[in-house]
Amino acid sequence: MDLSPKLPGSKKISFIFTQNQPDARLFETPLRPFMHMTGLTGLSVKDHLIAYDLDAGVKPTVTEKKEFMEKAYRIGNELLR
């Protein structure tokens, strides 16, 4: 069975995950293998962000959380380089 990547060249990707849970580590365990498996397709996983504690209507939105917005900007900017 040929498991070599089928995508042309090495495309860079990053992930931004959002969650309502206040503990950023809660879903880290399943997300790491997901990112690893995505990398096996030939895509180059550069970075990720887990934006946590985002309960719409009850807590501040992600756009009000400066640290998430700054990291999301850096992640996107790195993909353009």
Model confidence at 8, pLDDT cuts 50, 70, 90, reads low
Residue recorded with tokens 């498996």: 37
**What integer pLDDT is reported at residue 41 of this predicted model?**
82
Secondary element (H or E) of residue 44 = strand 44-51
Model confidence at 43, pLDDT cuts 50, 70, 90, reads confident
Structural domain boundaries of the chain?
Answer: 12-79
Share of the chain above pLDDT 90, in %: 52
Model confidence at 75, pLDDT cuts 50, 70, 90, reads very high
Q: What's the rounded mean pLDDT across residues 1-6?
A: 75
Tokens (6 digits) for 62:
């992600």
The chain-wide mean pLDDT, for the chain, equals 88
